[in-house]
Amino acid sequence: MSSLYLEGTLLPLMCSTQNARLMSIDEMHSLIVNGSYAKLIKQIREAYASGQKGQVMDKRTGRMAEVPMVDMLKKRLPLFVPQGNVIHRRRIDGFWHPTPFMPFDGDHLTPDQLEHIMQQVSQLPWVKEAHRSSRGEGVHLIVNVGVIPVPETAQGDNPDDFIPYVPAEFRVQYADEYKRRYCIVAQYLQQELGMPCDPQCKDVLRGLFLSHDTEAFLRPDEEMESFDFASWKGNNDSQEPPQEEVSLSDEKCETSPVIALLPLPQTTEPELPHILEETPLQESLITSYLPYHQYTPSRRHGWWVSWAQYLKYKGVELADLSRYCEAMRQHLSQQGLIQPDDPLLRNPNEVDDAMAWGYEHSTSAPSAAQEPSSVSPSVSISDDELLERLEAIKLPQALKASIESQPQQVVLATLCGIMPAAQTYTSAVSVEYCDGKRQRLNGMSCIVAEQGGLKSGVKDMIYQWMAPLQSSDEAARQKEQDYKELRLTRKANEKLPPPPKVEIVVVPATISCSAFLKRQKMAGGKHLFSFCDEIDTVRKTNGAGSWSAKYDIYRMGFDNGEWGQDYNSDSSESGIVQVAYNWTFMGTPSAMRACFAKNGAVENGLTARVWHCLIPPSRFEHMPKYKPIEEHQTESIRQATEMLRMARGFVDTPLLRKHIEQWCNRKADEANESNDMVVDTFRKRAAVIGFRAGVVFMLLENGQQWIADGKALEPDYVNHMKESNNCIQFAKLVADHALKYQCMLYGNQLLAERNSLAAESMIYRTKNATLFDVLPAEFSFEKLMELRPDSRTNTLRVMISSWRKKGMIKKLNKNLWCKK
């Protein structure tokens, strides 16, 4: 057996495959013995012994809830999945390379039981590795149960000639066989060693948190044996004799792909019900979705939206959506996840509406014309996974203060909304991007939500970040007002002083092109900023006359492009400027599409430059609760704006450049695998958006540390900055989030616009050719006259003669022709 087949996967975060890597059990064992995570394990065991509590955001209610500190600390430990390669996706459809190893977890043991089990398992030839758990009162085992047989598939269809471990048509049978073997071994451990096993480990993708145990046990490969299922039947006398296992690679599998299974041992845990036995694909999708998306009545609408988006990602057609909806409803009811008083049972139309909305606002499954080899995972990442990654990042105080008072549903939207305002303060900063070119920190965001969709909380936090900008603008606007009054009251022969040149940063989103040019010239290269809480206002003002050039200004503002206008009149501003314009807009999905998509902004690149965030509708959900913004939070934000204003000059970011380049290249490989032109188009600027957000994070993080060290804040602090791992992870998270919603909101239209432009550029359509297209396969002269009532008879006869000479039609009889 190849050594590659003996490697599991180490996940730095339990709910994400970000930075996952393959690892053998021997390497995992060395991490446990040498104390790589000893400090964190010590904290976990102390918190468990003291019963210490911590505060965490409850995703169901949006409030802070009290949970055991040990559970919060454990989420910071890496997770090892011994069954194989789940780097691409920790789901059954992303599972590669079989291993014969299965994890077992026994908890709540006394010290004597723990010592006894550790001594006994070292005598079992099928136990590969054993160590004490992170809490110190349990044991983790990795057992050799033999490789589960699967059908042989042709190599070369996958990257690096990987063979899919579980082909789609065998996933249900594979999961059953895995569960059968787990139950038998668990029964042995319970009866022979007195070790109660966690029933959740029967999941194929179950992993074990790393721990620290200097006395951990590891068996060499040459001494390994697999568990003998045939010779041990347990204490169940009624169990039937073992049947011969049939390999799925046998020729019989071509007509009857079934594994001959031993009867499962009796257990008090209810078996997974077969919802629709004739459609195993439905059951497979349900069982792969539920472990990562727990149903909660308080957020039922958003939950069904996510379920519909997951189905669309899996290629389920809209016509089949109702069947999958009913299958999930049956499953939830049979599992007791829907209570008798759940509104779902009283109002079934709610589910249909939610799923229809989710299906519409999701990235389509690839069409047959694209012929993808697989679907890119770039757009399938869930907001829950992004939030899990965000919780693992230690944010600077200002960013943390910005989201502490927000409901969980709008945490990502808040970060998206405040980022352009934060970047406006960094006008004097320049950075070098991965391609070697210098950039400034320009940013544009768009928050998309239905009416009453929780945008107000995001708006309040944006005003917190805008406050210092507006404060400095007040004095400048007063100078302009004083000069205006002086001009109106001057005498006829009185000479006025030249008008004041003032810097005004915050400008209304409805500013005209001429006024914008004036403000940009007076700003001396500084960023301007606009906020609009209803994007429909922008659409109406920018749709007429010279104001339509605003869309060019938006696009050029991302890269500081040149823009200007030249008039022979003193009534309009003339000149050329380097555009530096940041903004945050909010609006409904319909208004957003009317503002951007209908103006051709998908193919011209504007939407790719905007960080979008879609807040799922909150219809039928319980009332969210906002916390008041406390004084220390406001002070943290104010201090952050001073840090960003103080930053000047070139900021070097070698590590951030390296990791963002790797991220962008990885997305290119994913897009190449799935032939996904949408991801390939949007990934490049999504990487830039993430990179710039990472630079802001680094400025805040290092400025905060500079002040904590007792140093006075001065421009020199940017010369001593370093990128932390938190900064890099935040930049990647922003890039993933931006790419997801760019593809989701504009992917289909991008392809449609490209196809339309390609057709228009390659084919010249004459009036007669258009007429030929609308004719039926067989047509008469009367039909032709009906379509061209204004044409003369001789003209139509010449037209028919021309088509016949070109071989486009053939004559069937005196008055009937057909297309070839």
Q: Which residue has the higher pLDDT, 674 or 39?
A: 39
Q: Quick one: pLDDT at residue 620?
A: 58
817 CB-near residues (< 8 Å, 6+ apart)? 778, 779, 780, 800, 803, 804, 809, 810, 811
What type of residue sits at position 800? I
Q: How confident is the model at residue 694 (pLDDT cuts 50, 70, 90)?
A: very high
User: In this structure, how many other beta carbons lie within 10 angstroms of the beta carbon of residue 645?
Assistant: 18
Residue 345 CB neighbour total at 10 angstroms: 12
pLDDT at 370: 35
* pLDDT number for residue 732: 93
Least trusted range by pLDDT, from 105-114, 126-135, 194-203, 534-543: 534-543
Q: Which residues pair with 448 in a beta bridge?
A: 587, 614
Task: Determine the distance from the C-alpha atom of residue 748 to the mean position of all C-alpha atoms in its chain, rounded to a whole number.
Answer: 18
**Dihedral of alpha carbons 434, 435, 438, 443, sign:** negative
Of these ranges, 227-241, 433-447, 666-680, the one predicted with the greatest mean pLDDT is: 433-447
Which band of pLDDT confidence, cut at 50, 70 and 90, is reported for residue 280? Answer: low
Token pair for 249: 């690679």
Which residue type sits at 532? Answer: C
DSSP-assigned letter for residue 717: G
Q: Which residue has the tokens 């917190």?
A: 464
Provide the percentage of residues in the chain whose pLDDT is more than 70: 77
The pLDDT tens digits for 551-607 are 888 888 888 888 888 876 666 788 888 899 999 999 888 788 777 766 556 777 888
How many residues are listed for the chain in this entry? Answer: 820
pLDDT of residue 362: 58
What are the tens digits of pLDDT across the range 474-529?
A: 888 888 888 888 888 887 777 878 888 888 889 998 888 888 988 988 888 889 99
Residue 404: pLDDT band with limits 50, 70, 90: confident
Q: 106-117: string of b/e by CB count within 10 Å (b at 16+)?
A: beebeeebbeeb
- CA angle, corner 243, sides to 6 and 184, nearest 5? 55
pLDDT value for 669: 84
Q: Mean pLDDT over all residues of the chain? A: 78
Q: List, for residues 57-108, the tens digit of each pLDDT value.
A: 665 555 667 778 888 888 889 999 998 888 877 777 677 777 889 999 998 8
- Most confidently modeled range among 433-442, 668-677, 806-815: 433-442
pLDDT for residue 695 is more than 80: yes
pLDDT classification of 795: cutoffs 50, 70, 90: confident
SS3 362: coil
Token pair for 274: 């077969």
Structure tokens at 659: 């990791």
CA dist 426 and 699 (Å) reads 9
- Chain position carrying tokens 């590659």: 4
State both tokens at 699: 């400025």
Does the pLDDT of residue 409 top 50, yes or no?
yes
DSSP 749: H
Parallel, antiparallel or unpaired: strands 816-819 and 809-813: antiparallel
Q: How far apart are CA 291 and CA 269, in angstroms?
A: 16
pLDDT band at 621 (very low <50, low <70, confident <90, very high): low
Among 531, 434, 450, which residue's Cα sits nearest to residue 735? 434
Look at 680 and 240; give whichever has higher pLDDT: 680
User: Which residues are bridge partners to 506 per DSSP?
Assistant: 529
- pLDDT at position 301 over 70: no
Per-residue confidence (pLDDT) for residue 266, from 0 to 100: 38
Q: DSSP alpha helices (H): ranges in 571-676?
A: 589-595, 631-646, 654-674
The rounded distance, in Å, linking the Cα atoms of 747 and 734 is 19
Higher pLDDT, 49 or 379: 49
DSSP 16: B
Question: Quick check: 581 and 554 in contact, CB under 8 A?
Answer: yes
Q: What is the pLDDT of residue 132?
A: 93
Cα separation, 123 vs 629, whole angstroms: 60
Chain centroid, CA 557 distance in Å: 26
Helix (H, G, I), strand (E, B) or coil at 613: strand
Check pLDDT > 50 for residue 335.
yes
Contacts of 70 (CB under 8 A, 6+ apart): 44, 47, 48, 52, 135
pLDDT of residue 759: 43
Q: Phi and psi dihedrals of 445, rounded to 5? A: -130, 150
Confidence of residue 238 (pLDDT cuts 50, 70, 90): very low
Q: What is the rounded CA–CA span in Å between residue 588 and residue 37?
A: 46
- Residue 612 sits at φ, ψ, to 5 deg, of -95, 150
